[in-house]
Homo-oligomer: A and B are copies of this chain.
Amino acid sequence: MSGQGQYSSQLLENAVSQFAKLPSIGRKTALRLVLHLLRQEQEDVEAFTSAVSHLRSDIRYCHICHNISDSDTCDICSDKHRNNRQVCVVENIRDVMAIESTRQYNGVYHVLGGVISPMDGIGPDDLTIESLHDKVASKAVDEVILALSTTMEGDTTNYYIYKRIAPYGIPVTTIARGVAVGDELEYADALTLGRSLVNRVPFDTTLNY
């Protein structure tokens, strides 16, 4: 009964509550979104709800890299021009999109579906680590590039994966950590700056800075 928590309609209340369950959407924003939808044509609202339900019910995952896909094999894995023996391990589809947008990578991906996080109850078995192990064990992979977040969970996962596939003797690399392009040195944190010194590389005149 307090604040602006009273709605004049149960239908409105339901819709607002559903929107407010989404991450970073509070009840005020939810109400604004719902009132916006209410002003749209019936068929536009149906297009919205049907896009959401079809996504959830019809979505599939690539059987090779586990990325979200419309078919059994995603476009990246079925692309003959890509090097499918170079595998970049990422957390989720957003990381795939971020790396794809750089246009600097021509290998394929392996989407873990998260990182090991005991606090959130996510163990190695909840991720696609065994599938990665099987790929490596079947000698289908020349290099594994670990591209997980630099968090405790990311580091733990990196280490777990490394221990799991090290016996097969293929190169396991991680993406470089260093001072971001365009950043001034004085504002970089000490850990990043230190890492960028340890992992220094020969000066390359062909790169466009």
Contacts and interface: CB of A to CB of B under 8 A. Distances in A.
Contact of A18 (B47, B70, B92, B94): B47
Name A's interface SS: helix
Contacts of A29: 24
Contacts of A42: 56-57
Nearest to A44: B21
A38 B37 CA distance: 21
A73 to B, nearest CB: 11
Given A32-B23, A49-B49, A38 B56 contact: yes
A35 interface: yes
Contact of A15 (B3, B17, B55): B55
A53 interface: yes
A134 B108 CA distance: 69
29 contacts: A2-B101, A3-B101, A4-B98, A6-B101, A8-B67, A8-B74, A8-B76, A8-B96, A9-B59, A11-B51, A11-B58, A12-B55, A12-B68, A15-B51, A17-B51, A19-B48, A21-B48, A22-B36, A22-B37, A31-B94, A35-B92, A35-B93, A35-B94, A37-B56, A38-B55, A38-B59, A46-B53, A48-B52, A49-B53
Nearest to A57: B42
A14 interface: yes
Contacts of A14: 51, 54-55
A81 to B, nearest CB: 15
B4 A68 contact: no
A68 B37 CA distance: 13
Contacts of A48: 18-19, 21, 52
B38 A33 contact: no
A55 B35 CA distance: 10
A47 B23 CA distance: 16
